[in-house]
Amino acid sequence: MALHVLFENEHLTVSYDYSNEWLYVEWQKNQDMESVQAGAGKMLEYLRQEQCHKVLNDNRLVESMWSDASEWGGKVWLPAMAAAGLQYFAWVYSPNIYSRLSTDLTLQHAPAVGPIVFTFDNIDTASAWLRQM
């Protein structure tokens, strides 16, 4: 990956992958409503800035439940990402069962129309799928 880091803090790193023309977002540690909303805002900002249509969203390092943000994520943030040009979103699950449940809850709140979002257990499978889109 030819990654250029656009933003980094203790909760996430947002990079642009020039070879694949997508945002690569790596979430870390414990997440809550505040960190999810702040990080999602950064994703939206950089999706617009880079004018890309794909996101590889990596939750493998997330260690906690963040379900308090799931309804907001599905009903507010994903539609905003779609409005900004998002078409394909590959979401790599955390091994933490509670983080996985938070991801699934977010997607249950997402509108039926919008970006195509698939979840994966493996980063390589997620990347391969996103490259084909």
Is the pLDDT at 124 greater than 80? The verdict is: yes
Q: Would you call 2 exposed, middle or buried from its count of C-beta atoms within 10 A (0-12, 13-18, 19+)? A: exposed
Alpha-carbon distance 100 to 86, whole Å?
22
Alpha-carbon distance 118 to 50, whole Å?
22
Is the pLDDT at 2 greater than 90? The verdict is: no
Indicate the helix (H) or strand (E) that contains 108. Answer: helix 97-109
Q: What percent of the chain has pLDDT over 70?
A: 99
pLDDT number for residue 12: 97
* Phi, psi of 46, rounded to the nearest 5 degrees: -80, -25
Q: What's the mean pLDDT in 50-66?
A: 97
Is the pLDDT at 117 greater than 90? The verdict is: yes
Q: Which of 118, 110, 107, 121 is closest to 59 using CA atoms?
A: 121
pLDDT band of 1, cuts 50, 70, 90: low
Is the pLDDT at 27 greater than 90? The verdict is: yes
In the chain the domains, ranked by start, together with CATH numbers, are 3-132 (3.40.50.10600)
What single-letter DSSP state applies at residue 20?
T
